[in-house]
Structure 1
Amino acid sequence: MTGAARNDARAWVRTGTELLFDAVAGLDEDAFSAPSVLPDWTCKHLVAHVAANADALGNLVHWAATGEETPMYASAEERAVGIAKGATLSGDELRSWLRDSAQKLAAGLDGLTEAQWGHQVVTAQGRTVPATELPWMRAREVCVHAVDLGTGVTFADLPNGFLAALVAEIKAKRGLTELPDGPLPEVAAWLAGRPHSLTDVPELGPWL
């Protein structure tokens, strides 16, 4: 990833994070406990997942900065426990965790040198990637899950550059050769397996 692409991704992280902060700011306890767009997850589960993701990516930042091997999660079970923990926390506790973890991750990324940005780390899926991929990984989480909260944010609220990058990535990963005609936000939603307004298109399974 070039420096310019990395800067774009970091800008998208800031946009998605602010959308999340704004979305959760007005949630009371009942709204936090309401279903999210994602099956079987309440808004509490979703916010806990995004907060835990920031902590996990922070482990990879530490790995890139120090060379000390620090996996995102100790195990798949640990990741599941972190999400389940969300259902037991209050709205205020979740807001604090979401904000604190996001700020800590941003500070860690700010501290990486150019050499450290090139250091290799391993994702939770077992992919070996340079640290330059971390902003994009976070951008996907905060932007897509800001929509998944179901509080009014849509794919149309996300930056066009982010949507174009997201469409290109999912299209490649799904092995698609053609895309349906339609507005970019709706195509992105369809590819991601989220609610959309496109017609005469096959339903795709969930992504992310």
Structure 2
Amino acid sequence: MTGAPRTLNDARAWARIGTELLLDAVAGLDEDAFSAPSLLPNWTRKHLVAHVAANADALGNLVHWAATGEERPMYASAEERAVGIAKGPTLSADELRSWLAASADKLAAGLDGLTDEQWGGEVVTAQGRTVPATELPWMRAREVCVHAVDLGTGVVTFADLPKGFLTALVAEIRAKRGLTELPDGPLPEVTAWLAGRPHTLAGVPALGPWL
């Protein structure tokens, strides 16, 4: 399950696709459906959507950093990230949809405005990693694609995500988990297993959640 290294254009395309899948998945949810559990422990779909919307706002801070050179962390503190997630259940379905769409649009516009030089500028992630701004679309692609599945509506599964994205995600998680071998099986199911999500593979060890 190896392929050509992912490119900036790949990641930007996957972020757009994931955003569209996520927006489509929440488009028809009413209040009860939004308040139902997601596939993530202790999170409703409202928690999850608030997290993804707040993530776009946070990544926007790094876009500002790359564009201006003014240091602006993703989150002012760990507490700020938690507050964004906890805000979800206090909002209506329409308010969450609006926040999700507006934050995604603002982030996309910010990324579109970066020059070649600014794309090479270094920023620091919430985990303390120093990365070039070219990593930001990949960070966003992971959030929107994987969490579109995590909504648990059945509208989006790992099989609905781009093959190139799945291949890149498998390579990244495999390296981070230090795995030398992968089980045989369809790429979407192997990806789900690696990410610690529900899957159909038999006889594989349980992995803790990733992302």
TM interval, shorter chain, is over 0.9
1:175 and 2:178 equivalent? yes
TM-score by length of 2: 0.97
Structure 2: gaps (5+ residues): 1-5
Residue by residue over 1:115-169, the C-alpha shift from the partner in whole angstroms, topping out at 9 and shown as x without a partner, is: 0000000000000000000000000000000000001110000000000000000
* Residue identity in the other structure for 2:204: V
Counterpart of 1:88 in structure 2 is: 90
Structure 1: gaps (5+ residues): none
The match for 2:140 among 127, 138, 141 is 138
Counterpart of 2:3 in structure 1 is: none
- Name the stretch that deviates more: 170-179 or 4-13: 4-13
* C-alpha separation in 2, matches of 1:103 and 1:176: 37
* C-alpha separation in 2, matches of 1:125 and 1:46: 19
1:164 and 2:181 equivalent? no
The match for 1:69 among 49, 68, 71 is 71
Q: Secondary structure at the match of 1:181?
A: coil
1:19 and 2:17 equivalent? no
* C-alpha separation in 1, matches of 2:146 and 2:196: 11
* C-alpha separation in 2, matches of 1:9 and 1:82: 25
1:43 and 2:39 equivalent? no
Residue by residue over 1:3-28, the C-alpha shift from the partner in whole angstroms, topping out at 9 and shown as x without a partner, is: x7000101101110011010000100
Q: Secondary structure at the match of 1:87?
A: helix
Aligned residue pairs, count: 206
1:198 and 2:201 equivalent? yes
TM-score by length of 1: 0.98
The match for 1:184 among 160, 182, 187 is 187
Counterpart of 1:155 in structure 2 is: 158
* Residue identity in the other structure for 2:136: L
* C-alpha separation in 2, matches of 1:53 and 1:151: 21
Identity score, percent: 87
Q: Secondary structure at the match of 2:123?
A: strand
Deviation of 1:97 after TM superposition, in Å, equals 0.2
Residue by residue over 1:82-136, the C-alpha shift from the partner in whole angstroms, topping out at 9 and shown as x without a partner, is: 0000110000000000000000000000000000000000000000000000000
Residue by residue over 1:14-43, the C-alpha shift from the partner in whole angstroms, topping out at 9 and shown as x without a partner, is: 110011010000100000000000000000
* C-alpha separation in 1, matches of 2:151 and 2:85: 15
CA-atom RMSD, angstroms?
1.0
* C-alpha separation in 2, matches of 1:87 and 1:133: 31
